[in-house]
C-alpha cells in the first residue's frame, strides 16, 4: 500500500505547517500560532477549523488571560489514528502499538534465535498485530501504518532489508519486508535502519527542548549510529548505519570478524562480540574469575554471564568491560571532534548492562575531546530505553502526515 495515503490525509500545505507547529508543543494558543506561522488571522482560523473538523486537533481549554478573553488552546488529537512500530534487531524484535501521541497501548517481543527466520517471524508479527487491534477495538482504517526500524543496510525507498550481518537465523538477506507486511495488514509500511528510528524517537520526545544536533549510537552486537540536525535525520549517499563500527582506532590491530571489515576497527574492541571474545580468551588462559563456575566450556560464555560476574564485582569482568568502554570512548571522542553534536544518546545492550560501560566511555570521550571544556556535550542513555527503535519507527510513520 502506497504511503501517499498518509501524506494525503492533510492535503493543504499550510494546514500541514499549522499541524506540525501544534504537534511540536504540548498545547499552543491561537495567538502563539499566529506569531509562529506568520499567517493572517483569517487564514489561520480557517485552517484550525479544518484540522479540528477532521479530528486531527482538539480544543483543549483556555490559556491565561493577558487582559482580554482567555485564548483557546489547541493540541494534537492522539486518538485520531494508531500506528505500529516494529524493531528488527539481531538479539530481539519488538512490536509496539501506539496512538498518535506516541502513548504505548501494547508491546510484544520475540527473541531472535537461530530459528527466527523471516518466514517464521513475519507471520508471528502479523498475527500479534491483528490480535492487538482486536483487543483494543481498533479498525484497520484507524491505523496510519506500520514503521519498521531494522538492522542495516536497508533500501528505504524499496522497503527492503538488504544484507545485514550476524543474524542468528538464516534468510535475512534481501527481505521485501514492507511489501509483505503491508499486504498482510492492509496498511502502509515504511522502513529505515534502527539507529535512525531510535534517534527520531528521542528527538521527538525532546521536541520542546533546545537541542538541535543530536548524535545516537547503539552499542550491541555491532555499533550503529545516526544523527539528527534541526529535527531531520542526516542521510548519506548509502545506508551508513553500521559504518561507525569500522572506524579504525588501531592500524595494526586485530582482524575484524568479517573478512570485509577493517583491521583495528572499533567494533572489534567495543561490542558484545569483543567482550565475549575477551572473556573466552581469559578463561582459556586460566584467569581467576567467577565465570568458571557459570560454564563448563569457555566457548559457552555469553555477555549475560559477564554481566552476572560484573554484578559480583568480579575483577576479570570489570577489567574486560572497562577496556571495551575505554576503546568505545576513544571512538566516541573521534565523532565528537568531527561532528560536534550538542547531545549524544547512547543505547543498546552495552549501555543497559550497567553503569560501568557508560561512565567509563563518556569520561574517556570528554578527556579526548579537543575543544573541551569550551565545547560542552551532554551525554544521555535516552528517555525511551529499549523501546526507542520501535517507537521511532512509529514516529517515522506519523511524520508522513506533514510531509509535502
Domain holding 301: CATH number? 3.30.420.40
pLDDT for 227 equals 86
**Residues of the domain holding 148:** 81-202+387-402
Are 245 and 214 a contacting pair, CB within 8 Å?
A: no
pLDDT for 321 equals 95
Total count of domains within the chain: 3
In this structure, the answer to whether residues 190 and 236 fall within a common structural domain is no
DSSP for 203-231, written as a single string: HHHTTTS---EEEEEEESSSEEEEEEETT
Last residue of a domain, one of 21, 45, 78: 78
Last residue of a domain, one of 30, 45, 78: 78
In this structure, the answer to whether residues 287 and 310 fall within a common structural domain is yes
In this structure, the answer to whether residues 111 and 214 fall within a common structural domain is no
pLDDT for 304 equals 92
Cell of 140: 484497520
pLDDT for 208 equals 62
What pTM does this model have? 0.82
pLDDT for 254 equals 86
**Per-residue pLDDT of the chain in tens (404 residues, 90 and over written 9):** 678 888 889 888 999 999 988 988 888 888 888 888 888 889 988 999 999 999 999 987 676 656 566 778 899 999 999 999 999 998 889 999 999 999 999 999 999 999 999 999 999 999 999 999 999 999 999 999 999 999 888 998 999 999 888 899 999 999 999 999 999 999 999 999 888 898 888 888 776 666 678 898 988 888 888 888 877 788 776 666 668 888 998 888 888 887 778 889 999 999 999 999 999 999 999 888 988 888 888 899 999 999 999 999 999 999 999 999 999 999 999 999 988 898 899 988 898 878 999 999 999 999 998 877 778 888 988 777 778 899 999 999 999 998 87
Provide the edge-to-edge strand list for the sheet that holds 82-88: 104-111, 92-99, 82-88, 143-150, 189-193
In this structure, the answer to whether residues 54 and 101 fall within a common structural domain is no
pLDDT for 210 equals 60
In this structure, the answer to whether residues 51 and 144 fall within a common structural domain is no
In this structure, the answer to whether residues 234 and 222 fall within a common structural domain is yes
In this structure, the answer to whether residues 184 and 36 fall within a common structural domain is no
pLDDT tens by residue, 90-121: 888 999 999 999 999 999 999 999 999 999 99
In this structure, the answer to whether residues 14 and 44 fall within a common structural domain is yes
In this structure, the answer to whether residues 70 and 160 fall within a common structural domain is no
pLDDT tens by residue, 144-172: 999 999 988 899 899 999 988 889 999 99
In this structure, the answer to whether residues 74 and 85 fall within a common structural domain is no
Last residue of a domain, one of 24, 44, 78: 78
In this structure, the answer to whether residues 278 and 393 fall within a common structural domain is no
CATH classification of the domain holding 47: 1.10.10.10
Q: Which region, left, alpha or beta, applies to residue 76 given φ > 0 means left and ψ of -120 to 50 means alpha? A: beta
In this structure, the answer to whether residues 72 and 86 fall within a common structural domain is no
Are 95 and 79 a contacting pair, CB within 8 Å?
A: no
Q: How many CB atoms lie within 10 A of CB 374?
A: 7
Amino acid at each position: 500500500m502506497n504511503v501517499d495515503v498518509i501524506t494525503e490525509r492533510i492535503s493543504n500545505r499550510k494546514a500541514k505547517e499549522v499541524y506540525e507547529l501544534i504537534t511540536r508543543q504540548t498545547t499552543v494558543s491561537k495567538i502563539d500560532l499566529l506569531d509562529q506561522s506568520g499567517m493572517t488571522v483569517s487564514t489561520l482560523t480557517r485552517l484550525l477549523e479544518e484540522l479540528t473538523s477532521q479530528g486531527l486537533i482538539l480544543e483543549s481549554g483556555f490559556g491565561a488571560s493577558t487582559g482580554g478573553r482567555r485564548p483557546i488552546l489547541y493540541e494534537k488529537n492522539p486518538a485520531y489514528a494508531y500506528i505500529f512500530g516494529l524493531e528488527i534487531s539481531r538479539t530481539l524484535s519488538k512490536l509496539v502499538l501506539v496512538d498518535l501521541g506516541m502513548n504505548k497501548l501494547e508491546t510484544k517481543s520475540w527473541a531472535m534465535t537461530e530459528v527466527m527466520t523471516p518466514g517464521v517471524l513475519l507471520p508471528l508479527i502479523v498475527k500479534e498485530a491483528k490480535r492487538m487491534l482486536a483487543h483494543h477495538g481498533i479498525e484497520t482504517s484507524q491505523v496510519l501504518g506500520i514503521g519498521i526500524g531494522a538492522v542495516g543496510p536497508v533500501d528505504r525507498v524499496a522497503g527492503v532489508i538488504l544484507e545485514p550481518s550476524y543474524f542468528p537465523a538464516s534468510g535475512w538477506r534481501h527481505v521485501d519486508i514492507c511489501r509483505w507486511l503491508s499486504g498482510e495488514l492492509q496498511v502502509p509500511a515504511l522502513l529505515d535502519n534502527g539507529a535512525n528510528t531510535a534517534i527520531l524517537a528521542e528527538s521527538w520526545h525532546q521536541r520542546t527542548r533546545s537541542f538541535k544536533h543530536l548524535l545516537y549510537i547503539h552499542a550491541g552486537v555491532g555499533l550503529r549510529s545516526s544523527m539528527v540536525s534541526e529535527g531531520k535525520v542526516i542521510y548519506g549517499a548509502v545506508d551508513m548505519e553500521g559504518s561507525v563500527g569500522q572506524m579504525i582506532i588501531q592500524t595494526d590491530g586485530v582482524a575484524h570478524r568479517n573478512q570485509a571489515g577493517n583491521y583495528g576497527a572499533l567494533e572489534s574492541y567495543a561490542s558484545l562480540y569483543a567482550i565475549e571474545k575477551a572473556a573466552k580468551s581469559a578463561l582459556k588462559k586460566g584467569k581467576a574469575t567467577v565465570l568458571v563456575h557459570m560454564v563448563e566450556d569457555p566457548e559457552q560464555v555469553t555477555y549475560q554471564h559477564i554481566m552476572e560476574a560484573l554484578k559480583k564485582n568480579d575483577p576479570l569482568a570489570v577489567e574486560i568491560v572497562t577496556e571495551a568502554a575505554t576503546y568505545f570512548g576513544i571512538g566516541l571522542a573521534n565523532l565528537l571532534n568531527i561532528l560536534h553534536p550538542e547531545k549524544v544518546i547512547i543505547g543498546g545492550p552495552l549501555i543497559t548492562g550497567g553503569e560501568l560501560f557508560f561512565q567509563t566511555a563518556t569520561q574517556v570521550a570528554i578527556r579526548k575531546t579537543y575543544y573541551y571544556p569550551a565545547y560542552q556535550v551532554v551525554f544521555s542513555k535516552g528517555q525511551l530505553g529499549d523501546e526507542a527503535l520501535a517507537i521511532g519507527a512509529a514516529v517515522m510513520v506519523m511524520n508522513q502526515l506533514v510531509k509535502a
